[in-house]
């Protein structure tokens, strides 16, 4: 994420803010001023999320870890908001709390004038005010003991110890934690259980829990093709879904270690195609599914992404606008189909886990009823864009996608229109280009011409007459 090439004259501190080595030392100096009695040392500083709007703002989520003067370790997320033209954040502080549940000694909100930053210390989050209680062991123990049967335990078991690990935080949107707890039973019995907790900024957690429970009860999840960590419980008052742990590694990490060029011969692509085809054919009549994304939304996003990309690359404005316009012109024809299925809604490399040669699917926040090729195209985009984001040679990537496409078509009963796939794919590629630019992804920025080549190539596929 570190990039020394970011220039924004309205955010003069941005280059420093995106250099993690500089920021590690800067945070230590800042902590010395803000928490003088703690003696906080910074051992590591990483950027887990960055969103830059040129000339307007930049929001950065840092993960800072270290120890205090007594060698007690800390691991903290800090959400930094930078505004254009050196906007003074002091006025904002007047309305913010001095304390917040779960923040411990950290100031929930503080101003870093030298960096033109307003800092929010986790778990301070006005969109998820219940986050703090999920860090309190006693609260979590009570919730576990109220739901022992959900963990396959009888009421005789007692929760003795809970440990919380921070996994992922998207400020104002979602937070993922991992819990390890120890339960004690009769005759000195003891067990350790691990599960994941996902907190939302809305009651969508209940919807995901209900739908996922129905999906996991379907035959598709009992034949080894579709592996989904089963939901355990939903904490309605905290908009939080608890889900079983599936001990695996991110699929992307596994393939980076093995080498993406080995993907065509890895055997993974047919398995992923089979997994998606199985999900698309799951019927859950007793739980109402939300409507999936409509083509109109894809067009709206395409125009928005085109404008946002042009803010970074103004010389490409005409090409980008033309691409979005072409998608809009093709939409009526593309939307003229009757295929509807249970879709994941965000099916991509990032949602796959791997354990040896076994795969599992996670993150069902957008599960809905919609066009199955929407999922296929998003997965295509996540693989195809590796040519841009990771500099992977095009040949093994294309070979892998064709393998996936052939397997998927064999496993579903409906016609798979390659033009419709291409139409969605262009929209997703525009979104990925925008994401790379606003997150200042160094390799993707260097390979951006390849992204425009992919847009042009797949637009031609979408325009072909049937």
Residue 199, exposed/middle/buried by CB under 10 A (0-12, 13-18, 19+)?
Answer: buried
User: Which has more confidence, 5 or 147?
Assistant: 147
- Asked if pLDDT for residue 2 goes beyond 80, the answer is no
pLDDT at 89: 57
Predicted confidence at residue 440, as pLDDT, reads 86
At 9 the pLDDT is 86
Determine what percent of the chain is predicted with pLDDT higher than 90. Answer: 86
> What was the pLDDT predicted at 187?
78
pLDDT value at position 43? 98
Per-residue exposure over 397-433, b if at least 16 CB sit within 10 Å of its own CB, e if not: beebbebbbebbeebbeeebbbbbbbbbbbbbbbbbb
Predicted confidence (pLDDT) at residue 465 exceeds the cutoff of 80: no
Portion of the chain with pLDDT greater than 70, in percent = 96
Tell me: pLDDT of 5 over 60.
no
Task: Give the domain ranges of the chain.
Answer: 14-121, 131-244, 249-463
Average pLDDT over residues 268-281: 98
Categorize the per-residue pLDDT at 220 as very low, low, confident or very high, splitting at 50, 70 and 90.
confident
Q: Is the per-residue pLDDT at 282 higher than 70? A: yes
- Could you confirm whether domain 14-121 is CATH 1.10.3470? no
pLDDT of residue 86: 60
pLDDT tens for 420-464 read 999 999 999 999 999 999 888 999 999 999 999 999 999 999 999
Given this model, what pLDDT does residue 87 score?
Answer: 57
What does pTM read for this prediction? 0.91
Q: Nearest CA to 176 among 162, 166, 187?
A: 166
Minimum mean pLDDT range among 10-19, 123-132, 228-237: 10-19
- Convert the pLDDT of each residue in 23-82 to its tens digit: 999 999 999 999 999 999 999 999 999 999 888 899 999 999 999 999 999 999 999 999
Name the region of 6 (left: φ>0; alpha: ψ -120 to 50; beta: rest).
beta
pLDDT tens for each residue of 229-252: 999 999 999 999 999 999 999 999
- What is the CATH number that goes with domain 249-463? 3.90.1200.10
- What one-character-per-residue DSSP string does 374-385 give? HHHHHHHHHHHT
**Domain 131-244 class in CATH:** alpha beta
In terms of Cα–Cα distance, which of 460, 306, 447, 462 is closest to 386? 447
Whether residue 27 contacts residue 64, with contact meaning beta carbons closer than 8 Å, is answered with: yes
Residue 136 has pLDDT above 80, yes or no: yes
Is residue 151 within 8 Å of 145, Cβ to Cβ?
Answer: no
pLDDT at 139 over 70: yes
Residues 217 and 230: their CA atoms lie apart, in Å, by 9
Mean pLDDT value of segment 270-286 = 95
Between 187 and 164, residue with greater pLDDT: 164
Average pLDDT score, the chain: 94
Mean pLDDT of 187-210: 95
What's the rounded Cα separation, in Å, for the pair 163 and 175?
A: 16
């Amino acid at each position: 994420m570190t990039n020394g090439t970011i220039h924004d004259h309205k955010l003069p501190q941005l280059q420093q803010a995106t250099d993690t080595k500089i920021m590690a030392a800067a945070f230590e100096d800042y902590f010395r001023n803000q928490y003088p009695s703690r003696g906080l040392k910074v051992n590591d500083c990483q950027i887990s999320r960055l969103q830059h709007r040129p000339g307007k703002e930049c929001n950065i989520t840092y993960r800072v870890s270290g120890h205090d003067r007594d060698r007690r370790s800390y691991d903290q997320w800090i959400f930094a908001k930078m505004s254009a033209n050196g906007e003074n954040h002091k006025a904002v502080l007047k309305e913010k709390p001095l304390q917040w549940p779960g923040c411990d000694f950290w100031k929930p909100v503080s101003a870093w004038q030298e960096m033109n930053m307003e800092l929010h210390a986790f778990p301070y989050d006005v969109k998820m005010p219940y986050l703090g209680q999920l860090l309190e062991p006693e609260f979590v123990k009570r919730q576990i003991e109220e739901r022992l049967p959900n963990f396959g335990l009888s009421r005789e078991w007692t929760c003795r110890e809970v440990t919380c690990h921070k996994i992922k935080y998207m400020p104002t949107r979602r937070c993922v934690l991992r819990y390890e707890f120890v339960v004690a039973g009769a005759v000195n019995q003891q067990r350790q259980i691990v599960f994941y907790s996902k907190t939302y900024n809305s009651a969508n957690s209940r919807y995901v829990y209900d739908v996922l429970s129905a999906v996991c009860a379907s035959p598709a999840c009992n034949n080894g093709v579709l592996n989904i960590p089963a939901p355990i419980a939903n904490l309605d008052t905290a908009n939080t879904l608890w889900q079983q742990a599936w001990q695996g590694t991110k699929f992307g990490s596994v393939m980076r270690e093995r080498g993406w060029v080995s993907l065509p011969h890895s055997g993974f692509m047919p398995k992923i195609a089979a997994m998606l085809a199985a999900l698309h054919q799951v019927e859950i009549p007793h739980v109402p599914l939300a409507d999936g994304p409509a083509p109109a939304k894809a067009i709206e996003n395409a125009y928005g992404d085109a404008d946002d990309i042009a803010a970074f690359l103004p010389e490409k404005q005409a090409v980008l606008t033309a691409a979005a316009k072409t998608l809009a012109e093709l939409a009526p024809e593309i939307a003229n189909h009757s295929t509807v299925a249970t879709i994941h809604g965000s099916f991509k490399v990032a949602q796959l886990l791997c354990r040896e040669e076994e795969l599992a699917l996670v993150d069902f926040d957008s599960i809905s009823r919609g066009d199955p090729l929407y999922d296929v195209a998003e997965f295509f985009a996540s693989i195809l864009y590796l040519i841009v984001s990771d500099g992977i040679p095009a040949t093994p990537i294309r070979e892998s996608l064709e393998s996936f496409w052939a397997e998927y078509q064999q496993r579903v009963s409906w016609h798979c229109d390659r033009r419709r796939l291409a139409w969605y794919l262009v929209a997703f590629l525009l979104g990925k280009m925008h994401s790379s630019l606003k997150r200042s992804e160094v390799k993707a920025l260097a390979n951006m011409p390849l992204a425009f080549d992919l847009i042009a190539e797949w637009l031609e596929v979408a325009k072909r007459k049937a």
